Amino acid sequence: MPTAKVDKPRLAFEPETVLIAAGPFIMGIDLNDAPDEGPQHTVELPHYRIGKYPVTNREYAAFLAHDLTHEAPSKQGWFNRQPPQDRLDHPVAAISWQDACDYCAWLSAESGRTYCLPTEAEWEKAARGADGQLYPWGDTWTVGAANVDSTDTTPVNAYPASAGPTGCQDLLGNVEEWTRTRWGPDRQSAAFLYPYRSDDARNDTSSYSLRDFRIHRGGSFRSNAAHMRATVRDRALPDSRVRWRGFRVVEQLEPSILRNPANGQSI
């Protein structure tokens, strides 16, 4: 019987993560008015861990304390590189794509684990589960399940009803979340279409370009509930910083760490 590899102790500032089982899931949707989200198809992913919540101000402050080259978010009330005390558990926002990548690189070096931004496929599987439901909690929108149609962020654990089959919270609403997946140089037309492929450079981070849009997912507190399905793809220039966009992390796992992980197991 396969056994799990003994893991290193988690550091106090490491985001809590959830284990997502290897295997197929349903990605995309067939909608005439959302051609970028289709066709619906099946994608196979290895197992991985993903942040249970978006990265918080508290967690990002630990990064800034170690890396004095990065500026603190300028639109969220930070002072002397510290967030407001009443917003420690809000998602960090006004973060560029490169800021998020730099945080992941720092976290990897500090922890000895490999962190990065999720691909849009990893993000969508965490949100929909293997069966392709439209929302983390099912196929019908539930009023009050997510922070939408509002004016500000909330603590990342304020909407427990947002938890889906994997146990992740805040995948819809609160803050949009950067992925490492490329959209392409033309905002109006995606260069990387469905069916999703992991071998066509769409997840390449070495060809960083300010002209190449990156995909973000999940909508934010500003979003309308009518447009909050988990298949929606949006994009932004990687140097953009807005107060409604943040990120969560993925921990990449060795294939031998766990061969039959339980979907949604939390550390």
- What is the band of 7 on the pLDDT scale with cuts at 50, 70, 90? low
In a domain, 11, yes or no: no
- What is the band of 149 on the pLDDT scale with cuts at 50, 70, 90? very high
In a domain, 9, yes or no: no
- What is the band of 47 on the pLDDT scale with cuts at 50, 70, 90? very high
Is the pLDDT at 188 greater than 70? The verdict is yes
d(CA 202, CA 182) in angstroms, rounded, equals 5
Output 86 or 8, whichever has higher pLDDT.
Answer: 86
In a domain, 68, yes or no: yes
Is the pLDDT at 33 greater than 90? The verdict is no
In a domain, 10, yes or no: no
- Residue 47's domain is classified under what CATH number? 3.90.1580.10
Check if the beta carbon of residue 73 is closer than 8 Å to that of residue 95. yes
Tell which residue, 204, 230, 208, 214, has the closest CA to residue 179. 214
Beta-ladder partners of 216: 178, 234
Residue 145 CA neighbour count, 13 Å, CB half = 20
Q: What pTM was estimated for this model as a whole? A: 0.92
Check if the beta carbon of residue 49 is closer than 8 Å to that of residue 79. no
Q: Describe the chain by its helix, strand, coil percentages, rounded to 5.
A: 15, 20, 65
In a domain, 258, yes or no: no
Q: Which two tokens stand for residue 104?
A: 């992941």
The number of domains in the chain is 1
In a domain, 7, yes or no: no
Give me the chain's average pLDDT, please.
Answer: 91
pLDDT (0 to 100) of residue 76: 83
Residue 28 CA neighbour count, 13 Å, CB half = 18
Structural domain for 168, as ranges:
17-252
Check if the beta carbon of residue 204 is closer than 8 Å to that of residue 117. no
In a domain, 3, yes or no: no
Check if the beta carbon of residue 84 is closer than 8 Å to that of residue 153. no
Check if the beta carbon of residue 256 is closer than 8 Å to that of residue 5. yes
In a domain, 262, yes or no: no
The per-residue pLDDT for range 99-142, each reduced to its tens digit, is: 999 999 999 999 999 999 999 999 999 999 999 999 999 999 99
